[in-house]
Structure 1
Amino acid sequence: MSSQSSGEGGVEGVEQVAGDGENVTEYGRLLGEFEDVCPVCGGPLKVREVEYMLPSLGKTLLVSKKCAKCGYKRTDIVPLSFQRHTRVYLRVEKKEDLYIKVVRSPTARIFIPELGLELRPGLDAEMFVTNVEGVLQLFKDALLRLKTLDEEARVDDMVKLLDSIAEGDFTPFTLILDDVYGVSAVIAGPHSRVAIENAD
């Protein structure tokens, strides 16, 4: 998971780290700090590495980078705990389901079979936490990047359909996370329809 900005902010579910050493918060342990070169302005880039235990993810490494010169900031979360190959199925049936949180690892594929959509991780894929609505936006962004003149009408129709779903106008569909390392997850309430399958 990564985020970039020029302002202040934090990573959802992770306390801000302060202090100089051992157990810097209830959840995190500072592993080290060092200086690198900012990729934006070439100035000094402060890098901090902290080990965390996070809900649904287990042991993770949080790497934060900040440039004092230009304000560039980036945070990456790297999973350190791996499990069996799993598939997570979430049935999306009502508008409230669009706000269910989705944790996708760098190795997971995302499917919506009813719409014929698949999102494969690239070589530089990163971990992220979003919700179902955010996943729909990822599909929309990918479609717009790949749009060609030959497929313009088909892409436009799919984008309109995704917009309608985001507004709550849809028939039920299934969101599938296929993760070879079993890190990805859906964080849903007790009344949500979620199934987990071991794919080994």
Structure 2
Amino acid sequence: MLRGDKYWIGGAAWSPDSRYLATSSTDKALCVWDTRRGTAVTTLQGHTDYAWRVAWSPDGRRLATGSRDRTVRLWDPFSGARLVTMTGHQERVQGVAWSPDGRHLASVSWDRTVRLWNPDDGRELTVIGVHDDQANGLAWHPDGSHLATVSRDRSGRIWEPATDMDGLLRRARSRVFRRLTDDERRSFLLPTTRARI
């Protein structure tokens, strides 16, 4: 048994190599445990309110956390260094999940939004969707093509996050069965057709 936290533990996640366990707590800190030795390796501090959720990157080199302070943060799990702080949610962050390839991080919040982030620089890439009530959990499809979210609105939704213009264009072309007008193209930020003289 791992002992050390004096506060309520809100989340836990195994490292990809199964050696370490990260826990998040109501004392605003996170702890990384060496499960072979039963000892704490590092304590990560920086959230200003309860740390609810924690997730390891697929390569095991970063930890993502979601907190009641409305932020998503990335950490070096072994040095304890805070790498990136992501802001944008208007309520507590209830879930964080890495894409299987580690190139994207998704988060859900009680503000009802599902957001996609670039974990390298902390940029918000997009708001994927909005639930009708608090969003509470999420999971990537193993191939990274879809993201499932669940909400207090009693729904589970499956999203197809497109993270670049090529992906958006492919998705749009697969769903449009007629030629778009120039006004429609402008509204989707696509180049307009050129008039031939």
TM-score calculated relative to the size of structure 1: 0.30
TM-score calculated relative to the size of structure 2: 0.30
Q: Which has the higher contact order (CA 8 A, sep 6+)?
A: 1
